[in-house]
């Protein structure tokens, strides 16, 4: 098969990394797979910029500035229409979308494009279902048409509340489009089935997959030696592309860690990985090792293996790569019960699932795992078994191949 992927990034952020992994795995299976992304790309086979030339990029920039000023989020990007004549689009048997709120592809072209080629849209977050936000948190206005938005400042932010207009515009566009949805989690599949915007489209659940030969348990002492980390301290890992982002729950990490000072069986260190990680050195009352954003999967696997546990207190999430990567490396996860996280983090099986926004429960989960090495050893074995059974890249690729065959022949 010939598959074209449209993604904001090709190997950065949750959606971009998932897109590139799917693309790479399809190539290994002998398929012709290509990616069009938002930025310039050099030295990466079969990955290119969606806008093509500088003139198209300039027109996109002008259009994006205009729609941003008017709070008409991504309604018009000229290169989205150029896509219809792109040789990779013309050659594709199926086109797969990832997140489309990066200012690189306008959903206004979806109706025309999806009548020319079968489209599969992987739901990286809630943006396709709402008037503008990626995650609605406690707000349920996305179910009835948005408007009076309490989350205007949330990324991607709006200057003026046009969420009702944007919601209705999506409704009109989607009504003319032929799309099959892919949900990484049962949670977001359930939201799609409730959505007045997309519930007329079929939805298939395909969890994220990992290369389990890369993300695998590594001897902890060896991993720490490679990273220059102390051997005699327990190590709690917190990792995010944006470590200070509200949605990632860093405030709860600070509170939970500070509450544990002097209470655990032995001293522990916080390992923070991601942008602005160095700011954590003064945020908590325990020793901190800060590492900037890591893009290399082998290094990431070493970091997970070096840690005693991974804390992921996101306030909204789908089925995050970081959680699955940690499980594959045999490192249990302490997380809030939110979104699709609970489908992978299972208390006393793969970690500890704390009550939403409950700092005390989060702190209790961290302490419980830190204070019981025997429990952690058992969890490490179960984490890996769950990853092998449910989150293997080979299984994900097989599921996508079957879905592509269905939508192509159904066409």
Q: What is the pTM of this model?
A: 0.93
* Alpha helices in 272-341, H assignment, sequence order: 297-306, 321-328
What is the C-alpha to C-alpha distance for residues 365 and 233, in angstroms, rounded to an integer? 18
Does domain 220-390 correspond to CATH entry 3.40.50.2000?
yes
Higher pLDDT residue, 194 or 77? 194
**pLDDT tens column, 198-220:** 999 999 999 999 999 999 999 99
The reply to whether 220-390 shares the fold of 2-209+393-410 is yes
Of all residues in the chain, what percent carry a pLDDT higher than 90?
A: 82
Per-residue pLDDT at 235 exceeds 80: yes
Residue 80 pLDDT > 90, yes or no?
no
For residue 241, give the nearest of 289, 194, 188, 300 by alpha carbon: 300
Cα–Cα distance between 197 and 205 in angstroms, integer? 18
Residue 14 has pLDDT above 90, yes or no: no
Say how far apart CA 46 and CA 161 lie, in whole Å. Answer: 39
Angstrom distance (rounded) from CA 271 to CA 177: 46
Mean pLDDT of 315-320: 95
Q: Alpha-carbon torsion 318, 143, 179, 57, what sign?
A: negative
Q: Which residues of 271-286 are buried (b: 16+ CB within 10 A; e: fewer)?
A: bbbbebbeebeebbeb
- The tokens describing 313, both together, are 């207190």
Q: Would you state the structure tokens that stand for residue 187, as one six-digit string?
A: 């949670």
Average pLDDT over residues 76-90: 90
Question: Cβ–Cβ contacts within 10 Å for residue 405, how many?
Answer: 13
DSSP state of 343: G
First-last CA distance in the chain: 14
User: Which pLDDT does position 320 carry in this prediction?
Assistant: 93
Q: What is the pLDDT of residue 12?
A: 67
CB neighbour burial string for 204-227, b if at least 16 within 10 angstroms, e if fewer: bbbbbbbbbeebbbbebeebbeeb
Residue 146: the pLDDT is 97
The structure tokens listed for 217 are 């348990």
Angle between helices 220-227 and 297-306 (to 10 degrees): 120
Instruction: Give the separation between CA 207 and CA 122, rounded to whole angstroms.
Output: 10
The correct CATH number of 2-209+393-410 out of 3.40.50.2000, 3.40.50.720, 1.10.150.530, 1.10.10.10 is 3.40.50.2000
Range scoring the smallest mean pLDDT among 50-64, 107-121, 223-237, 354-368: 50-64
Residue spans of the domains in the chain: they are 2-209+393-410, 220-390
* Residue range 264-297, pLDDT digits in tens: 999 999 999 999 999 999 999 999 999 999 989 9
């Amino acid at each position: 098969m010939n598959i074209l992927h449209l993604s904001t990034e090709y190997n950065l952020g949750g959606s971009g990394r998932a897109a590139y992994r799917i693309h790479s795995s399809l190539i290994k299976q002998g398929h012709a797979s290509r990616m069009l992304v938002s930025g310039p790309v050099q030295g990466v086979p079969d990955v290119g910029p969606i806008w093509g030339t500088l003139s198209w990029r300039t027109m996109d920039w002008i259009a994006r500035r205009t729609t941003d000023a008017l709070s008409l989020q991504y309604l018009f990007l000229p290169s989205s229409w150029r896509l219809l004549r792109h040789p990779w689009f013309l050659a594709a048997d199926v086109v797969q979308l990832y997140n489309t709120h990066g200012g690189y592809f306008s959903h206004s072209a979806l109706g025309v494009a999806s009548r020319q080629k079968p489209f599969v849209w992987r739901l990286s977050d809630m943006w396709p279902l709402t008037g503008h936000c990626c995650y609605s948190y406690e707000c349920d206005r996305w179910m009835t048409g948005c408007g009076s938005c309490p989350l205007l400042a949330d990324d991607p932010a709006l200057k003026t509340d046009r969420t009702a207009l944007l919601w209705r515009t999506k409704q009109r566009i989607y009504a003319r489009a032929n799309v099959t949805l892919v949900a990484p989690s049962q949670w977001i599949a359930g939201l799609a089935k409730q959505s007045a915007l997309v519930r007329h489209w079929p939805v298939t659940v395909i969890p994220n997959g990992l290369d389990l030969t890369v993300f695998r348990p590594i001897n902890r002492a060896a991993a720490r030696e490679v990273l220059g980390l102390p051997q005699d301290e327990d190590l709690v890992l917190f990792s995010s592309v944006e470590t200070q982002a509200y949605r990632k729950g860093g405030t709860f990490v600070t509170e939970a860690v500070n509450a544990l000072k002097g209470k655990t069986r032995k001293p522990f260190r916080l390992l923070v990985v991601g942008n602005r990680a160095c700011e954590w050195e003064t945020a908590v009352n325990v020793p901190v090792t800060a590492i900037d954003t890591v893009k290399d999967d082998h290094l990431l696997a070493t970091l997970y293996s070096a840690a005693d546990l991974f804390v992921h207190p996101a306030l909204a999430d789908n089925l995050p790569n970081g959680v699955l990567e940690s499980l594959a490396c045999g490192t249990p996860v302490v997380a809030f019960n939110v979104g699709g996280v609970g489908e992978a983090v299972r208390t006393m099986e793969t970690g500890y699932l704390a009550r939403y926004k409950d700092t005390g429960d989060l702190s209790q989960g961290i302490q419980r795992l830190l204070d019981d090495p025997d429990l952690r050893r058992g969890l490490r074995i179960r984490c890996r078994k769950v990853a092998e059974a449910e989150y293997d890249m080979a299984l994900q690729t097989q599921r996508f191949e079957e879905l592509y065959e269905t939508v192509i022949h159904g066409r």
